[in-house]
């Protein structure tokens, strides 16, 4: 496992961890996804984060690999009483979330500011 994520920026904020995609997540391979996911779950534990905000503002689109990663992280947050929010979702990503019905399970908000307000309420 790496000590620094290759595809995500991690930013703690009180009991919330904000994860921002920082490079092309469409090119992730299974082993890389596992490494990234392990690192991100470890970060949730290290920061005692009960809430998670995933900011997709820097990506144009995402596919099944990113969905898998988000589902794993969502399940990890749902083991407690935390909140899971996805923000800044690109138009194509919104279609993916609607098609998979994940938009009915997750809170989807237009901005990071709204996401942080939501998790802190």
Number of structural domains (the chain) is 1
In a domain, 121, yes or no: no
Domain presence at residue 26: yes
Determine the pLDDT at residue 55: 95
Average of per-residue pLDDT values in the chain: 87
Rounded Cα distance, 32 and 52, in Å: 21
Kindly state whether residue 2 falls inside one of the protein's structural domains: no
The more confident residue out of 32 and 86 is 86
pLDDT in tens, 40-88: 989 988 988 999 999 999 888 877 888 888 999 999 998 888 999 999 9
CATH number for position 43? 3.30.750.24
User: Domain limits at 64?
Assistant: 8-116
Q: How far is Cα 15 from Cα 13, in angstroms, rounded to an integer? A: 6
């Amino acid at each position: 496992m790496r000590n620094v994520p290759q595809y995500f920026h991690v930013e703690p904020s009180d009991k919330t961890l904000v994860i921002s995609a920082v490079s092309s997540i469409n090119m992730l391979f299974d082993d890389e996804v596992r490494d990234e996911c392990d690192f991100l779950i470890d970060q949730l534990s290290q920061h005692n984060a009960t809430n998670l905000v995933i900011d997709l503002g820097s990506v144009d689109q995402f596919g099944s690999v990113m969905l898998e990663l988000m589902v794993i992280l969502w399940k990890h947050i749902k083991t407690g009483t935390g909140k899971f929010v996805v923000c800044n979702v690109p138009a194509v990503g919104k279609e993916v979330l609607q098609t998979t019905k994940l938009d009915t399970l997750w809170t989807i908000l237009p901005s990071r500011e709204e996401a942080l307000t939501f998790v802190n309420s």
